Structure 1
Amino acid sequence: MATLAAVTRELACHAVVGAIERQGGTLYCVALFFGPDGYLGLHRKLMPTAAERCLWGQGDGSTLPVIDTGAGRLGAAICWENYMPLFRTAMYAKGVDLWCAPTVDDRDAWQATMRHVAVEGRCFVLSASPYLRRDALPADLHPVQGDAPDTVLVNGGSVIVSPLGEVLAGPLRDGEGILTATLDLDDLARARFDFDATGHYARPDVFALHVDESARAAVTYRC
């Protein structure tokens, strides 16, 4: 944490980094936010996916930040949180401009989801997906895909999408690499002119979403 914070302070940049957080005896899948001022906060994954539920803790509404970078508002949805319509709606209502979507989902269907989120939220979507081969894992692990050293376990798929669904970079597959794109932030206003999911295109008289952003502790104390 200290090293990453030092890097973003030195470079005067922002970064969203996936990590494992340990609190007591519980592990959380998290997205960490850093900027020119160092560490800015985190988002804990609300719902572990499939077999992850055997191990990971669940986040609560207290870690759903959208951070104003000065140039745009930055938020994150971790992997299959991107499939949660009410999560997306809550983030749209906070005015997210730069939607970060770290994942290990390398399927073609994920690309469609990233373009959908961009068009629905009228935001830029930056999805990072790793490229992972068997030889990067310890020898005592045996992936279902096979044990040959060059077996590809996760085939990337990182992508950057505009607020109207145009793919600006990627998807990056078949090896490690870095995607870059120049974002025209004026595209945000252009895209929202005729569609704003929680603004002029909403119907609060028909649909309403209530979000509890309080921290939920198992034990509370009164004096």
Structure 2
Amino acid sequence: AAAAFHEQEPQVREENGQLAAAAAAQASTPGDGSGGELWDAALLVIAYNRPEYLRQTLDSLATVSSLADVSVYVSQDGHDVGVAGVAAAAGSRGLGRPKTRGYTHWQRERIPLLGPEQPGHAWLAQHYKWAIDRVFLDKRHSHVIIAEDDMLFSQDFVAFFKQTAVLLQRDPSLWCVSTWNDNGIAALATDPRRLFRTSYFPGLGWMMRRELWGEIGPHWP
């Protein structure tokens, strides 16, 4: 089951069935603006210094369906040679055109904004902001799907986001949609077709709109 982050209500409740039906109906409907009907998404993979993990992640991503409408970016923090080699080769290993709308590898200079002794999570937060700014402010994508370099993907990973983008447009109380559910193991899941709202941020494989980044980006930690 997938989860969507709700900014106010603490309780977990099932997503409205009518919205879920609308998401399925509008999954492939073109439109204007950066709302749910327009699908101009970036798929952003955050990487640092784990080349073998990144290789597995990108090989898995290349097997996902519905990538033809998505631009793929690997954002590397720093200049690890192994990571750079894996990222540079991915475009010719199934993530370039025509499989996707395009593949790009970025490298960020590791400049410690809080000083040379800043903690690891500060490096990661700064990398996130740098990469998301490029996706939304420079490339002007309508949505970003964010993954990290230690993930494996189901076949419907992108298709799920295409079908639920309309939920973010129609319900301003939703911050994001995520494909991850910590309790979604086989022993606990009863119906993989059901969507739930949660106050817990499921930050593994998640999507947000450009409008949300306009609100939170300037205040990013």
Structure 2 length normalisation: TM-score? 0.30
More helix by share: 2
After TM superposition, the score normalised by the length of structure 1 is 0.30
